[in-house]
Structure 1
């Protein structure tokens, strides 16, 4: 079983924009996205965007990461035969998610994935005896 661990000083990383576009491109590597993908801010809301990709209209919205979460963009580098290393190259605190035919909403898979971070932290949080006593007191009242 493989395990992923990233350890870096996020303060030294440059902020980057993270765009989640609903398409598959058979290419891995750097691309001049800013030259070819220029979303425009919609007049209806500051966090709603309109753009297009290859002639297809897109509706987008920002998904903010939690206060205690930092997104990290990494490059894959190769170590020994059984090890793949990731080199952090940038950080982000929000993801702009795009849809082809629907306005962004909390029902989007990407929004639900970010909600899972909060849910996961809550269900994996250790329960202290004091927390149990508080729960029992609330249930008896």
Structure 2
């Protein structure tokens, strides 16, 4: 079985907003996100230990040196539950795409064809139980891309694979 990606439309697609929510929504397809899901940019909070009381305290107001909020962090709510989000850029050398399979195969041995439906340059990663951090499984998984490139990447003297030499492209 091979998987083919039909990327003919990729160059003409405008970038779209992608949200990764910590829940399951029983809907596949477009949604009117901008109407029903409002996000407010905020500064990431700073946690510190109060030397007088020993308690861990959080400062959520922006420091005086940055008058405008950081657009990489946002807060919102979904169905009454508070969410904290962080914008994550697509890594250099990669393209963020949403794929759609129009014809499901009848067996595992059949070839599959996926088409590019949306393109994105960044995504908003939302977390329910606190601010996104470098310890989150999703963010750690993105670190593996750099690690895999270091392990399996080509040396400067080698030629990279061209799209025509990679199996599975049409």
Give the TM-score taking structure 1 as reference length: 0.78
- Asked which structure has the greater RCO (Cα within 8 Å, sep 6+), the reply is 2
Pick the aligned partner of 2:135 from 90, 107, 111: 107
Unaligned runs of 5+ in 1: 130-141
- 53-62 vs 5-14, which moves further: 5-14
Q: Is the 8 A contact 1:77 1:84 kept in 2?
A: no
Q: CA deviation at 1:7?
A: 4.5
Pick the aligned partner of 1:57 from 82, 95, 98: 82
> Greater helix share, 1 or 2?
1
Q: How many pairs align?
A: 129
Q: Deviations over 1:71-126 (max 9, x none)?
A: 11122200663344222122112111001111111111221121111111111124
Q: Is the 8 A contact 2:3 2:114 kept in 1?
A: no
Give the TM-score taking structure 2 as reference length: 0.66
Unaligned runs of 5+ in 2: 44-61, 63-69, 158-170
The root-mean-square deviation of aligned C-alpha atoms, in Å, is: 2.3
Kindly report which structure 2 residues correspond to 1:13-24, keeping only aligned pairs within 5 A, or say none. 13-24=13-24
Pick the aligned partner of 2:101 from 55, 76, 94: 76
What is the aligned partner in structure 1 of residue 31 from structure 2? 31
Q: Is the 8 A contact 1:65 1:114 kept in 2?
A: no
